[in-house]
A and B are shown apart, each in its own frame.
Chain A
Amino acid sequence: MVISDAVRSAIDAEIAKYPEKRGALLAALHLVQREHGWIAPETAKAIAEIFEIRAIEVMEVVTFYNMFLDRPQGRHQVRVCTNLPCSLRGARELVHTLEQHLGVEAGETTPDGRIHLGHEECLGACAWAPMMRIDDTYYENLDAEQAKKILDSLK
């Protein structure tokens, strides 16, 4: 997959903000992932060329950070926080409910490629637990029915 001209110019705008080119690598990976859904090996190579580093250095970064995906994982990333404050308020039960509802286990993608369900560590919403992040949006103070409805509304 090639990097589009629009993303390429957005990457250049990010690079201009840093004293060294590589400072914009995380920003570039966010931009590319938004366009492609994940960071494929050939995409990593294209990014490496822009940043004048080796592809393996790009992959080191991709695999270090939880939010970067080194394989396709469905159209929507659904992450239920299961850290302590959320677990104290029913987050684990919520994960089990959503697993049953979607027919997949946490860590898996629905067969139609719509949803990847997963756990996540503390998202800074501890008082409004249980909660989940879907892509860039937080859903807080959830109960099972609400959460199922939200998942059903995802295209």
Chain B
Amino acid sequence: MQKAPFITSYLTEHTADDAFATLAGYRAHGGYEAARRALTQMSPEQVVELLKDAGLQGRGGAGFSTGMKWSFMPKDSDKPKYLVCNADESEPGSFKDRLLLERAPHQMLEGILIGAFATGADKTFVYVRGEYAHPANVLQRALDECYAAGIFGANCLGTDLRHDVVVTRGAGAYICGEETGLLESLEGKKGQPRKKPPFPAQFGAFGMPTTVNNVETFSHVPHVVAKGADWFRGFGTEKSPGTTIFGVSGHVKRPGLYELPLGTRLDEIVFEHAGGPPDGRKVKGVIPGGMSMPILPASQLDVPMANEFLRERKTMLGTGGVMVMHDATCMVRVGCIITYFFRDESCGQCTQCREGTGWLHKIMQRIERGAGSPADLDLLLDVASKMEGQTICAFADAAAWPVQGLLRHFREDFEEHVKQGKCPFPESFEL
């Protein structure tokens, strides 16, 4: 794990410094002053308005307005209210939240404290994926420091606000990144997503009003409060302000993390920052935002990495996980790995998803083996179209989209397998 991204901005400016993960180190850089300002000089409504003005969008994949989300929490309810921090980072190709948990836990906790004040929440559950044992330990240490210093607990930062934070560990299930799957898991159950409505703001964790935000989203909040909406809008595009941490992996010379403004062009990230493919290879395709997002071919990398532009190319920013594949790569093998993953991780409660993910994988493997027929290509698309928009959660869509993307841009790879009766890419990565 890098201690800091190759390119840093406000979120990761100090992550190279080991002390930044401690309370003293964080305070040396003005830590918890934004929360103090919010709690003592602002009303909860003003904090929500500030976030709306800044245009901060969730960084967990869906890109929903954080201020709007916070405003959905009922104000006149006498029930307990909860915040949930989604630290179940498990979208293949994504590894930014791990950095923020390990190297800047207080930055996220300060965002949570501000969120607690703005939404009137009593308690926050930080749901950390089970495999992130070390990040969870670092976070727990940071939280213990906060309790000892009176930052959380009965009188947060010496005010009347009471707020508690609990670190919860998952146990290895991709679906728990889906917010209602996460809520089920938090309640000690199988992580099977819930039907919506009711939405979590009305009926969330333990049946109480709940708001779920991602690790990175909370980490932006103190910066917005400290420096204002106009400052925040100085980064990124008009519709997608701020920076994000792109994770670049696969066939590049410098895989790693890069904190850059939203709207940075994909080709700039792949070639200028990550150095492009090694060994004089050329790029064949790039998945721009974690494995659920449709791939783009080499000819379409001139796209700014923000949803308003990526949507025009029929893909999305997702979690900013950029996966690069060079020209020896077999896109059917890529499809085999993607469909295996979704088949393995489907929670099984909706037929379209449980059966569809299995069929996508079987057909994909048949084509890779050289046993596919010309009709299999459209069969893949047919199965995918019957999964999309048909299920309780977006997992089935996330399984269908990458298959559609591969066939949209690399149909000839599939056709060659069928025609030759074998995989025509002997130099591709092993399956």
Mark A residues whose CB is within 8 Å of B: 17-20, 22-27, 29-30, 51, 60-61, 64-68, 82-85, 87-90, 92-93, 96, 120-129, 133, 136-138, 140
Contacts and interface: CB of A to CB of B under 8 A. Distances in A.
Interface stretch (B195-203, B333-341, B392-400): B333-341
Interface string B393-431: 000000000000000000000000000000000000111
Contacts, number: 160
Contacts of B33: none
Contacts of A18: 166, 206
Contacts of A89: 249-251, 255, 429
Given A22-B187, A65-B130, A88-B323, A17 B166 contact: yes
B92 A85 contact: yes
A18 to B, nearest CB: 7
Given A26-B185, A66-B172, A124-B89, A88 B325 contact: yes
B172 A23 contact: no
Given A27-B168, A30-B130, A67-B171, A124 B188 contact: no
Contact of B2 (A30, A123, A127): A127
A142 B325 CA distance: 20
Contacts of A84: 92-93, 250, 287, 291, 323, 334, 337-338, 341
Given A17-B166, A61-B190, A122 B90 contact: yes
A85 B187 contact: no
Interface string B265-288: 000000000000000000000010
Given A51-B188, A64-B190, A88-B325, A124 B171 contact: no
Majority DSSP secondary structure for residues of A touching B: mixed
B429 A140 contact: no
B90 A121 contact: yes
B320 to A, nearest CB: 12
Contacts of B1: 125, 128, 138, 140
A22 B189 contact: yes
Contacts of A60: 189-190
Contacts of B97: 124
B131 A67 contact: yes
| Interface pairs A-B: 10 shortest CB-CB | A25-B188, A66-B172, A65-B171, A126-B249, A127-B255, A136-B133, A85-B249, A122-B92, A22-B188, A67-B172
Contacts of B185: 26
A89 B337 CA distance: 14
Contact of A20 (B187, B249, B251): B187
A127 B249 contact: yes
A61 B130 CA distance: 14
A93 B428 CA distance: 12
A109 B250 CA distance: 30
20 contacts: A17-B166, A19-B208, A23-B188, A30-B130, A60-B190, A65-B173, A67-B171, A68-B171, A83-B341, A87-B430, A87-B431, A88-B249, A89-B250, A120-B131, A122-B91, A122-B291, A126-B249, A126-B250, A127-B256, A133-B131
Interface in B50-96: 80, 89-95
